[in-house]
Amino acid sequence: MTTALRLPLARPSLGRREEELVVEVLRSGILSLGPMTARFERAFAECVGRRFAVACSSGTGGLHAALHTVGLQPEDEVITASFSFISSANVILYEHATPVFVDIDDESLTIDPRAVEDAVTDRTRAIIPVHIFGHPCEMPAIMRTAHAHSLAVVEDGCEALLATLDGRVVGADGNPTVYAFYANKQMTTGEGGMITTDDAALEETLRSLVNQGRAAGGAMAFDRLGFNYRMSDITAAIGVGQLERIDELLAAREHVAERYLGALAGVDGVRPPAAPTRLRRSWFVFPIRFERGISRDRVAAHLAASGIQTRPYMPAIHLQPEYARRFGYRRGMLPVTERASDSSLVLPFYPGMNDDDIGYAVQQLRVAIDRAS
């Protein structure tokens, strides 16, 4: 007998305003390459404090387009983290380059700047730092390495909208930075992404790339090989509505995270997210890690039987079959990443969760840990 789902992993927060804007687009008859997408781009650029924003069909598409501008060659290497969603590595393969995975910091779970520096070779051309789970990477150290070796940097901010480190918002270092709006993100458009930059020439190139390589001002003129990574105006309409209440959305997620942290304080065997000191985390998911001796999979099975949806975020990319086969990665090469990957679980997390929801999740988590120890 299947247990009824009581707490889904994620749930978008959508309201009347998003409906109004979608209807506005439908009634306009302009469903793509129209004024709503341009409106969304302007609003998003202002939100994150960048000069330009280029809408695209997904965070993956945005990362690919941004990395494509680097001009990678088949023998080139790109340094990134294995503790990430697979798209941040896949885009390197799309460009026929080699991903070089380095380990992460055990507290923040973001890429270790010292490991980045140690991994640079004469074939390294770029770095993709991943601001995982809304926790900013140590960008000052990463940028020092990039400048010292003349490396391009493309920031994966897909999970880190408006996260800050030392008061500087993700993307403030001037690198092309990519955001994603899948249904579980801080704000959503269902599918969709955005690339930000302060460089006018790069903005023009990116705008061409996401639209089949179309030349500026040319209806059917194409001056480069591009991709079909356009965002529709229907998608953009949802984004405009979400941006209008982004502060509310982020505050609601922060409130739920604080309630979880309080409820987990007395739960043995669970390692909650790192406490922020120099940063403001943008809460994407609520990840926990289990101490050795606790079976993550048995805990997850009990929670599923109790109607609580979870997910083992993030599986290590370097151990995924395609990457292990192509590049010879094997277990033991990135010990911190592998420990985090093996022990991490994300709990239900979304605006609108109340104390009863959180209390039930944590109560069942306690029971699961007792049975899985």
Give dist(CA 104, CA 119) in Å, integer. Answer: 13
Give dist(CA 98, CA 142) in Å, integer. Answer: 19
Name the 3-class secondary structure at 2. Answer: coil
Catalytic, 185? Answer: yes
Give dist(CA 343, CA 345) in Å, integer. Answer: 7
b or e along 83-101 (b: 16 or more beta carbons within 10 Å of the residue's beta carbon)? bbbebbbbbbeebebbbbb
Give dist(CA 269, CA 373) in Å, integer. Answer: 9
Q: Which helix (H) or strand (E) holds 285?
A: none
Number of neighbours of residue 298 by Cβ within 10 angstroms: 14
- Tell me which residue has tokens 């023009």: 204
Give dist(CA 127, CA 92) in Å, integer. Answer: 10
Cis amide linkage into residue 36, ω under 30° from 0: no
Give dist(CA 65, CA 204) in Å, integer. Answer: 12
- Options 125, 185, 289, 302, the catalytic residue: 185
* 359: its two tokens: 């209390």
| DSSP conformational letter for 250 | H
Catalytic residues: 185
